[in-house]
A and B are shown apart, each in its own frame.
Chain A
Amino acid sequence: MRIFTAAIAMASGLIVLLGYLYPLEMLTQIRGTLTDWAIIIAGVAVLVGVLNLIFVQLEKIRSRQKNSIYGVLLIVSLLGTFGLGLVLGPGNQYVQLAVDAVIVPVEASLMAILAVTLVYASIRLLRRRADVMTVIFLLMAVIILVAVMPTPIGPIPGDWLILQFAGMFSRGGARGLLSGIALGTLLTSLRVLFGIDRPYGGN
């Protein structure tokens, strides 16, 4: 079974890759078909994830674990929203209200907590580790924030220079990250194609 799954994965990957490299009609059609299947599987995976979430919360409720009441709330909310969306449509104002009144504020609040946490961490960074790198990090962070920060008097003088300077390092760093991401993606793909890595459960 392990060999079968590995063979399928390898074949699929090679066909899609060859289809990208050699735009043959047959390869294109096969690649198109496999791509469509992947899209369908990905769409169903979202639903499977939602169902899994429901089942986990149900088990937690059945075993009467700690804080299982939140699982009840989650399942009720999920089913309610899902039902409303099916019935009223996603564009319905009531369904939109759930997003506007619940989802967005909640996640925005979490993001706000993140901002406070970052400030707190920055404050205590020197207490935990007072070294050069920590000072540089904090200094740069402050400089950029100051450069970006609007002031009543307008932008601070030299903000452009700071931003360019900062942008230079950021752009360079970004490119490096992107290159690393690309190479990592390529290597991972090759490992999957060669059957070295089997994230699909073949190991």
Chain B
Amino acid sequence: MASLTCPTCGKDNPDFLDNCQFCQTALRREAKLNIGENPTKKSTGELEEVLPDWLREARKQSRDSAEEEAKKEATKPKIQIDEPADLLAGLAFQAASDEEEVPDWLAAINPVEKKTPASSKSVEEAPSDFFAQFNQPAQESSKAASSDISPEISSSTLGQGNLPQNDELTNWLSPNSDRPDESFRFEPDATPEPAKPTEPEDLSWLRDLESSSKQSTPAASSQTDGGWMSNFDSSAAQPSGAQEDLSWLNNLGGIPASTNAPLPPQPDSSPDDMSWLNNLGGTPVSSSNEPAPAQPASSQEDLSWLNNLGGTPIPSFDEPASAKPSSSQEDLSWLNNLGGTPVSSFDEPVSKPPASSQEDLSWLNNLGGTSVSSFDEPASAPAPSSPEDLSWLNNLGGTAEPSSNEPLPLQSSSSQEDLSWLNNLGGTPAPTFNEPTPLPPAAPQEDLSWLNNLGGPSASSFDEHASEQFAATSKEDLSRRFEPVLPESSSTPLAQPEDLDWLKNIDNQAGDPSVPPGFQFLTPRHTAPLTPQAQDSMPDWLKSATEEPSMPPLGATSMDWFTSKEQPPAPKVDEIQSDLPAPQISSVFAPGGIFDQSQDRSASDDQNIFTSAHDSSSLSNQDVDSLFAVDMPDWLSQPEPTADVPSGQGSSSQDLSDSLAPVNLPSWVQAMRPVEAAISEASALSPDQTTEREGPLAGFRGVIPFAPIGSAQRPKAISLKLQASNEQQASALLLEQILAGETTARPLKAASQVVSQRALRWALSGLFLLVLGVMLSLGSQMMPVLVTSPQMSADITNLSNTIQSIPESAQVLVVIDYEPALAGEMEAAAGPLLDQLVVTRKPSLTFVSSAPNGSALAERLMKNTKISGGLGYQLDSQYFNIGYLPGGSAGVRGFIENPQAIMPAVKVSRFSDFAAVIVISDHAESGLVWIEQLELMKQSDTTLASQPLLVAASAQAGPLLQPYVSSKQVAGMISGLSDAARYEFMNGSRPGLARSYWDAFGVGLFLAVASIVLGSLWSLFTGIRARRAEAGLG
């Protein structure tokens, strides 16, 4: 048998038990939850053991796999997917990826263009001359600026993304010259591909991007997925490549090396950074070539995409890497077309291969929506190519590009020219381009200045009047203006003064002394409004580029940008206007044109394509804004503040915040504003009103009126105390007492009662046993048996007479119908009757019983009454014991009707053969049955009329059978021991049972009476006392 161990005592118990048999503790506790108890929370880890093996293994495997995945995720470099506008992030991946999805607008430009590794490689090999001149001065500037530029703006973004995808960019920027009609298809998600050998343009800047992207390959891969803009973001994750990546930004405007002076020297990257700029203008840029040797192919590849920006085939980017000047020229040539004017400026001879550059850059001419026929000029020499390269820049400003036809006197000048066009991109005033652009020691400022003019408010100065002025300008002046800003080391003194003026303007406009040197801002610049024709032909994506970006350039502090945005641009349109033909100028600067500064577009519009040279990233953002921004957020499309590069690296947002008007702040900037600033402003505005300092209204002034509304008096204080009367308080107190009484447990009184009851019972039992035992053992017969009543005497006499009337040796039926419990009384009661019958009439007795124990009791009766022994009656001779008669009244009825049918052992055939019937019963029901059935039979059978019915009953059944005696249905009845004793006394005290019980019977009754009387009195007294006590307590 199973056993359970008790948790309390530790003993074994059978399992069928709920509680311990020793200490009564619950054996099974696990599933017990009593009512009112809160279930205990269990840790699932605790239940691990009860799980099946297969489940545990599955859980373990899942945990292991999760851990492995977590480790892998941790080891993976962070991939910034949801980066804000890193506008040029995807540019580097265009050439390499075959899986890039080219937006439709970009596909329209050059749909055939597909980045291939070969083309990208070729692009890297031959940077254009235009950008070459940026390489050298941009080396140092890139070094200085790379550390300043924020990761997002860092050229590492471009470098990372672009370097592996130089081929893509190359291909993008330099489509086959044989396919001039193919629209450009920009694939920002294109994976890096090897450079095409047919694109020799210098794309050093792109190589930088590529190299940086290689350093963070996962980032680059994700960036490809995220688009061309994501490439910029990935580069931000690797500051090590930032310098390289930033360098290309320097090359945007031909930034001199001073802009990158703070940066650590990275000779390998800076040429590449500058090289792409060389390619932008399509002019040979020696500076851009200098840092290029390390990665010539990449620069070509990187720049090639620029050729394709205009949507025209740019064969210039097919040049080998060696011919960097030519590639730069070629690259830059397209920029000439950015202004949307017919690019006829590119008459300058372009060095080998000129055709490709013209083809590559020709699309740029069409950026402004104008027919690009500018790439007719042969690129004979780097120097003469620069004018061609620069010419397109002139077109960027929406002006005719006569300057593009102007031969660039020098290489350096060409670089400056290359850069100068950039000034017009942002709508910088033309006069800046007329100025010689010397390479100032503060080259970063100068380099960036033109960038400032690109997207700065200065573009707003361009109007029709300015367009007329542009018409008067000479081509040469424009060529000078478009010279890229060279870095300090590589700039040519001759061309720099003139060409860098526009850069200066950019610097001035950007002008933030807080800006650290070398810090490059992405400052959008407004250019001259486009001509209507240019406007109409301008693609949508380029139209958006004409608008000011709402987002500050990458790397630029938000405040700086906003500050520069607020500052009115310096009107320097005269120079540009004088050089450009009026219609072209007007078209460029016409409303809706690329360089339409009069339009203060929404944040989603990009006004400028190229950023200032101060911040290469800003230029890239502008480019991206103009090219790709369709639905730009407010913060992204906001015009960039004027970059102030030489002020220092740590730009202070405080200075900018002071100059910013809260109204113009974008939402994201406003959310960044500290509460204190808001409070201070509010306090400054209305000193009379209180400013909320806590809660949701913190910073607001005058929201809650200072003075109470309505009555100026303080409202009367109302007491919160309940005004209750004494009666109410008493009632409440009473209620509390009642409630308290309900919760208090009442003491139990059962223990005392149980003890007293048990003691009384034991006492009574002991008393009766003792007394009666003594009496019985003594056999005392001192109590006389007297017949005091005549009635009693008559009844006894009558019974005796009935027995005497029974014939001798007759059959007498004796019915035993009592329980063994009353056998003593019944034997005592029936004994004298049977003894007299047997002694006087010697009948044949037939014993039948209506109870199962009757037959045995009959034997006992015969023995105890000494009939069987003393009188010699033998079983089955003188008396017969036929056994149990079942069926109750039906059985009696049946026996009476046919005794032998019911009881075959009966010796009579009919019931009437019995001379008498003696019923010995201890309960009235069985006696009633015999009496009633016999009476009914006597009515039908007259022979039964003389058959007497005698009854020997107990004292409890006698009263109920007395009516039958009174009605003469029963001939005689002996009821109880008292009657038996008197009948026995009359019978000569035979058998003597009644007499033996008489004395004990008397004593017992006496004890009972005494106990009842005394006990009742005592109970009465104690009950009254207890009730009085309860009443007193209640």
Contacts and interface: CB of A to CB of B under 8 A. Distances in A.
Interface in B1002-1024: 1002, 1004-1006, 1008-1009, 1011-1020, 1022-1024
Contacts of B784: 150, 152, 154
Interface string B855-889: 11101100000000000000100000101101110
Interface in A62-100: 63-64, 90-91, 95-96, 99-100
A43 B890 CA distance: 12
A167 B788 contact: no
Interface stretch (A3-11, A157-165, A194-202): A157-165
A144 B955 CA distance: 12
B859 A91 contact: yes
Interface string A154-187: 1100011001100100110111011001000000
Contacts of A115: 768, 1004, 1008
Interface string B417-433: 00000000000000000
A181 B889 CA distance: 14
Interface in A3-60: 20, 23, 32, 35-36, 38-39, 42-43, 45-46
Contacts, number: 199
A123 B789 contact: no
A179 to B, nearest CB: 9
B1001 A150 contact: yes
A138 B1012 contact: yes
Given A125-B1019, A155-B786, A174-B963, A35 B1012 contact: no
B14 A99 contact: no
Contact of A91 (B823, B875, B887): B875
B791 interface: yes
A116 B1019 contact: no
Contacts of B966: 171
A141 B768 CA distance: 18
A149 B1005 contact: yes
Interface stretch (B164-172, B340-348, B895-903): B895-903
A32 B898 CA distance: 9
Nearest to A145: B1009
Contacts of B824: 108
Interface residues of A, number: 66
B783 A150 contact: yes
A8 to B, nearest CB: 16
B786 A126 contact: no
B81 interface: no
B860 A100 contact: yes
B690 interface: no
A151 B893 CA distance: 44
Contacts of B1015: 119-120, 122-124
Contacts of A20: 936
Interface stretch (B248-256, B720-728, B741-749, B759-767): B759-767
B771 interface: no
B103 interface: no
B860 A96 contact: yes
Contacts of B978: 148, 150
B959 A174 contact: yes
A107 B1008 contact: no
Contacts of A111: 821-822
Contact of B860 (A104, A128, A167, A170): A104
Contact of B962 (A95, A154, A167): A167
| Interface residue SS majority, chain B | helix
Interface string B816-859: 00011111100000000000000000000000000011011101
B1012 A39 contact: no
A133 interface: no
A43 B875 CA distance: 24
Contact of B823 (A63, A104, A163, A178): A104
Nearest to B1014: A123
A42 B963 contact: no
B764 A120 contact: yes
Contacts of A108: 820-821, 823-824
B16 A64 contact: yes
A173 B961 CA distance: 11
Given A64-B16, A99-B857, A130-B1024, A42 B887 contact: yes
Contacts of A159: 788-789
Interface string A111-140: 111011101101111111010000000100
B998 A146 contact: no
Nearest to A111: B821
A90 B821 contact: no
| Interchain residue pairs A-B with the least CB separation, the first 10 | A123-B1015, A160-B789, A127-B1019, A107-B821, A150-B1002, A39-B887, A149-B1005, A43-B886, A170-B959, A99-B856
27 contacts: A38-B887, A38-B890, A42-B888, A91-B875, A108-B821, A122-B1016, A123-B1012, A123-B1018, A127-B1019, A127-B1020, A142-B1009, A146-B1005, A148-B1005, A149-B1006, A150-B783, A154-B784, A155-B786, A155-B788, A159-B788, A160-B789, A163-B789, A163-B792, A164-B791, A170-B962, A173-B959, A174-B961, A174-B962
Given A103-B820, A115-B1008, 16 more contacts: A32-B894, A32-B901, A43-B886, A96-B859, A99-B856, A108-B821, A110-B821, A124-B760, A125-B1016, A142-B1012, A150-B785, A155-B788, A167-B959, A171-B959, A171-B962, A177-B960
